[in-house]
Amino acid sequence: MHPNPVFRRHPRNWALAFARERGFGALTVAGPEGVLAAHVPFVLDEDRVLAHVVRANPLARHLGRGPADALLIVSGPDGYVSPDWYGEPQLVPTWNYVVVHLRGELRLLDDGALRPILDRLSHDFETRLAPKPPWKTDKVDDGLLARMMRQIVPLEMSLESIDSTAKLNQNRSDAARAGAAAALEAGGTPGMETRTLAALMREAMSKTAAD
């Protein structure tokens, strides 16, 4: 997390909503031979994260020994910002980004919890594709589905702390921020989802003006 408090003023509810909307992150734990990571889709409740990984994943094997402290990193849009875009002298390059960190105790669940988690995951993402009729697990042959499910294991992480950073040039003038946002909207800069990042920068500018 960036130490500047100006980038960390979003409330818990904002961070939860952001993580829930993304629905995908890097799940990490400290293993016996170093940090382990798995990139997972997830469902976020108020007090827990539900996900699954391949049974052969080193993270799953580690959890077979018992629960472990974990960090789920949920990354949002990001992009390089050239100082030329600010229209002001004596500034330097930076990288704007949004990220949420969720921490808690991660554990394996009984295999009986797997089908409900799969159903929740597919329901959550399929409903975003409306008006397409939602895909459901019952569209897969029971025998085939059972064989596929034997390859994965369900996970649950308690939600013990939430941190977020939204680095959106809040430490620059409105004119400088607007210039950077316009360049990011145009595309072509290194980064991911730069137009979404620009929209978040403009949203932050509007909120600052309202305050």
Q: What is the pLDDT of residue 2?
A: 87
Q: What is the pLDDT of residue 205?
A: 81
**Residues in the chain where the model's pLDDT stays below 50:** none
pLDDT in tens, 163-179: 999 999 999 999 999 99
Per DSSP, the three-state class of 207 is: helix
Q: How many helices (H) does the chain have, and how many strands (E)?
A: 6, 8
Task: Report all structural domains of the chain as residue ranges with CATH numbers, in order of start.
Answer: 5-114+152-210 (2.30.110.10)
- Compute the C-alpha angle 40/42/46, nearest 5°: 145
